[in-house]
């Protein structure tokens, strides 16, 4: 079913961006060198219809500011055209605002925190990477489409808050519809249900992602999106192991993860950090996908290992995990991403599509075996 077919039950688009809009305007309420969102003073944000509620948490030294800040916050929130009521609860004095988190490696193991649930989704698989540009989103798209080709019901959540590129890769434009019950209906393409951060942000909107904002967005992705019954939800995580991917991995009800790397040693070393993050969160890693493994010259058919060879294999062997696939550098991959025609759909019989189908089959088998 396409979003358009949902017209009967749908009202206007964009309501899905409410928590983002709230957090964006609250950044106008200044506190010290920053603002109340950046200083982590906005807690327990909830939005029901036009009613916005949150707790204003201030350190003891700033409790005298509570009234002024509450009034300013209420004023900026009432300026939103859909606001009906604002309820701000002052918290008891809290500890000083949390400093930005240290790099994950320096932290004690964070406790897995899986409050959110997706009862109609059987398996939620994250695709992560140590850094950006390794092809994580391209792999997520083609893996999800390979699962569709195998007959599964699949959703794709583009949670890459830093650069949501999947709508472009799938050639999806527009915004999801919102039902009367304020549920977001994912858009659909090639039989795949898609929800993306890109739908919630204006094209030129730059957002500095701090913990509270990530939590607000995850809540929407989980609680407010009508995914329906799914066999697999593939989640394209933000790259790296910073605040955003860490929070997403902690909060999303992940069943497993796949790590994407390129072959060179330095890339494999950063991919190891992503693996450590999943390990510390007790998230099972299904295996490694090595992307951009080699390039086959279309004229002389000679294979060149542009980024060296074997980083993924070594990484997988050291962690005693399977190397799920080695994907060559191929212009069809890049072009397909740019024009919304992923290889699994555009060249379903190609050797490239075959790699993704094998990864999909293997992942599905591993998940079925796990129950
Ligand atoms: P990430 O999500 O890790 O940042 P992307 O999936 O956005 O990376 O890929 C980065 C760029 O590399 C995109 O232009 C994409 O089309 C291209 N790309 C990814 N994998 C391949 C490949 N195997 N061959 C050719 N181009 C690729």
Distance of CA 333 to the CA centre of its chain: 21
CA of 131 to the centre of ligand 1 (A): 12
CA of 133 to the centre of ligand 1 (A): 6
Write out the H or E segment, with its range, that includes residue 207. none
**DSSP SS3 for 189:** strand
- Residue 338 CA, closest ligand 1 atom number: 16
CB-neighbour burial class of residue 1 (10 A; exposed 0-12, middle 13-18, buried 19+):
exposed
CA of 268 to the centre of ligand 1 (A): 16
CA of 360 to the centre of ligand 1 (A): 19
Q: How far apart are the first and last CA of the chain?
A: 28
Pocket test for ligand 1, best of 129, 274, 292, 337 (most atoms within 8 A of CB): 337
* Residue 9: predicted pLDDT: 38
pTM equals: 0.74
The answer to whether the CB of 354 falls within 8 A of the CB of 143 is no
Distance of CA 242 to the CA centre of its chain: 13
**To 5 degrees, how large is the angle CA 83–CA 85–CA 89?**
125
3-state SS of the chain: helix, strand, coil percent to 5? 40, 25, 40
The answer to whether the CB of 142 falls within 8 A of the CB of 342 is yes
Q: Please write down the HEC assignment for all residues of 141-180.
A: HHHHHHHHHCCCCEEEEECCCCCCCHHHHHCCCCCCEEEC
Distance CA 332, CA 223 (A): 36
* Tokens 């019901």, located at residue: 153
Shortest-distance Cα residue to atom 19 of ligand 1: 135
Shortest-distance Cα residue to atom 23 of ligand 1: 329
Q: Among 1, 368, 342, 348, which residue's Cα sits nearest to residue 138? A: 342
Q: Among 254, 215, 250, which residue's Cα sits nearest to residue 125? A: 254
- Residue 163 CA, closest ligand 1 atom number: 4
Residues 6 or more apart in contact with residue 206 via CB below 8 angstroms? none
Distance CA 369, CA 47 (A): 39
Shortest-distance Cα residue to atom 14 of ligand 1: 334
CA of 289 to the centre of ligand 1 (A): 13
The answer to whether the CB of 348 falls within 8 A of the CB of 314 is no
CA of 91 to the centre of ligand 1 (A): 46
- Residue 331 CA, closest ligand 1 atom number: 25
Distance CA 24, CA 13 (A): 18
**DSSP SS3 for 48:** strand
CA of 246 to the centre of ligand 1 (A): 22
- Residue 335 CA, closest ligand 1 atom number: 16
Half-sphere exposure at residue 56, Cβ-oriented, CA atoms within 13 angstroms: 25
Domains and CATH numbers, the chain: 14-90 (3.30.300.130), 110-370 (3.40.50.300)
The answer to whether the CB of 104 falls within 8 A of the CB of 249 is no
Mean pLDDT by 10 residues, the chain (371 residues): 39 54 86 81 82 87 88 93 90 55 51 67 96 94 98 95 87 84 89 88 62 72 89 95 88 94 86 94 95 85 77 89 93 90 96 95 89 66
- Residue 131 CA, closest ligand 1 atom number: 3
For 67-71, the CB contacts below 8 A with 24+ separation are 69/29, 69/31, 69/36, 69/41
Pocket test for ligand 1, best of 138, 143, 169, 245 (most atoms within 8 A of CB): 138
Shortest-distance Cα residue to atom 12 of ligand 1: 135
Output the ligand 1 site: residues, CB below 6 A: 129, 132-138, 165, 239, 291-292, 327, 329-330, 333-334, 337
């Amino acid at each position: 079913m396409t979003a358009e077919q949902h017209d009967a039950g749908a009202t206007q688009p964009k309501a899905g961006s409410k928590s983002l809009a709230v957090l964006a305007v609250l950044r106008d309420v200044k506190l010290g060198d920053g603002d109340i969102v950046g200083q982590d003073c906005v807690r327990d944000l909830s939005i029901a219809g036009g009613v916005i509620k949150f707790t204003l948490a201030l350190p003891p030294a700033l409790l005298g500011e509570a009234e002024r800040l509450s009034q300013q916050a209420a004023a900026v929130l009432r300026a939103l055209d859909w606001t009906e009521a604002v309820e701000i609860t002052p918290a008891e004095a809290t500890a000083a605002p949390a400093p930005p988190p240290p790099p994950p490696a320096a932290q004690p193991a964070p406790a897995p925190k899986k409050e959110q649930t997706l009862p109609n989704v059987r398996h939620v698989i994250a695709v992560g990477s140590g850094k950006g540009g390794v092809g994580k989103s391209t792999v997520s798209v083609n893996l999800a489409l390979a699962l569709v080709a195998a007959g599964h019901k699949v959703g794709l959540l583009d949670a890459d808050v830093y650069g949501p590129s999947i709508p472009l890769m799938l050639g999806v434009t527009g915004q999801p519809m919102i039902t009367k019950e304020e549920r977001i209906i994912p858009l659909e393409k090639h039989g795949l249900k898609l929800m993306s951060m890109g739908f919630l942000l204006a094209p030129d909107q730059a957002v500095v992602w701090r913990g509270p904002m990530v939590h607000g967005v995850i809540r929407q992705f989980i609680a407010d999106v009508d995914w329906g019954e799914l066999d697999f939800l593939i989640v394209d995580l933000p790259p790296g192991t910073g605040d955003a991917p860490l929070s997403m991995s902690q909060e999303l009800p992940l069943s497993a993860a796949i790590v994407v790397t390129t072959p060179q040693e330095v890339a494999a070393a950063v991919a190891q950090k992503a693996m450590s993050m999943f390990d510390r969160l007790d998230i099972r890693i299904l295996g490694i996908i090595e992307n951009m493994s080699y390039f086959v010259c279309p004229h002389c058919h000679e294979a060149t290992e542009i980024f060296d060879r074997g980083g993924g294999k070594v990484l997988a062997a050291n962690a005693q995990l399977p190397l799920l696939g080695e994907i060559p550098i191929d212009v069809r991959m890049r072009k397909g991403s740019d024009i919304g025609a992923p290889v699994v759909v555009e060249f379903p019989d190609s050797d490239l599509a075959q790699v993704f189908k094998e990864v999909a089959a293997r992942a599905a088998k591993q998940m079925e075996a796990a129950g």
